Amino acid sequence: MAVQLEQPKRPVGGAYGVFVAEKRPEYLKSLAGKPVSEVSKMAGEAWGKLSEKQKEPYQKQYEEKKAQFDKDMAAFLEAGGEKTKGVTALRAERRKAKEGKKKKDVNAPKKPAGGGYGVYLAENRAAIVKSLPEGHKITDVSKAASTKWNALSDAEKKPFNDKYLKNMEEYKVAFEEYKKNLPEDAEDDEEDGDAEEEQEEAESPPKKGGKTGAKNDEAKKRKPAEKENQSPAPKKAKVGKAGKPAEPVIDADVLKKAQGLGLEASLKNLMARPDVSAKGFPHAKLLGALENHDGLVNKAKYALLGA
């Protein structure tokens, strides 16, 4: 009887992934009774404190694992094995194919993004750019804006948050009016897209491990972002055949952590849900919910909303 070949698994997460795998049992023991997300937080903080020299052994181990994977994959293919794409690659292909069928609609209303911070940045960008030295990088604008935004009090941020909510309400009215003029098949495409997205989430467990860890004191080091308990995070707009919307703005430290855990796409998906976005959850809390539910967006959403 022929033995079924098993495709070797590619090592993920780089040196940080090796570090987390080694330290996980220790952290789980010390964090008994606490949420699983605390393990990633502890690992991220510990990794961030290591010097480059201390990280070298983990990098070496990762390179050895990668070399062994390449060797095993070559043997697998030589023995007649058929290489299959991972869940993430398949999902990306489906989305790319789906987006390719859509055409931009110049008549589609533009969705406001970035919450109160987005309004603040739009109104103050010119002044911030003017205050920066000649030859500055584009990223310097968002850094300076983030610093200024985080220095504002809740009372000073309130007008921007209120304006964002007003803009969202106006967008919703405009979008409903826009949908009335869409062909029936365009509205069906939108509903089909939601169903396909649900199916993809159920089939796509997250990858663990990452290249970099989270930094300490997330609330003080975000760029660009709101502090915790601020206005709703931006969400992706689905506008029939209006093309690909802008990416949501994610807190820098949370984004690094999500990338390290292979949950960036799931986090953006969760942020895009209107009922989740309306609650204004901190980005760190959204990522924690995903970690606790194996990266499944729907389960994380229901846990957050108490459904």
Does 263 share its domain with 176?
A: yes
Q: HSE (CB half, 13 Å, CA atoms) of 90?
A: 13
Quickly state the pLDDT bin for 1 (edges 50, 70, 90): very low
Are 41 and 121 found together in one domain? no
Position of tokens 């860890």? 213
Domain assignment present for 7: no
E strand or H helix at 110, and its extent?
Answer: none
State which residues form the domain around 234. Answer: 107-305
One domain, residues 229 and 281: yes
pLDDT of residue 11: 86
Same domain, 140 and 182: yes
Question: In 3-state terms, what secondary structure has residue 270?
Answer: helix
Which has the minimum average pLDDT: 36-45, 105-114, 179-188, 269-278? 179-188
Q: Is residue 196 situated within a structural domain?
A: yes
Domain termination residue (choose one: 53, 84, 115): 84
The structural domain count of the chain equals 2
Q: Are 21 and 147 part of one and the same domain? A: no
Residue pointed to by tokens 């850094």: 143
Q: Looking at residue 42, what is its pLDDT?
A: 87
pLDDT in tens, 149-189: 999 999 999 999 999 999 988 888 888 887 877 765 554 44
Task: Say if 224 falls within a structural domain.
Answer: yes
Q: In the numeric block, which tokens belong to residue 127?
A: 């002044």
Global pTM? Answer: 0.33
Query: What is d(CA 38, CA 23) in angstroms, rounded to the nearest whole number?
Result: 13
Residue 297 exposure: Cα atoms within 13 Å on the Cβ side: 22
164 with 61, same domain? Answer: no
Asked whether 213 and 41 are in contact (CB, 8 A), the reply is: no
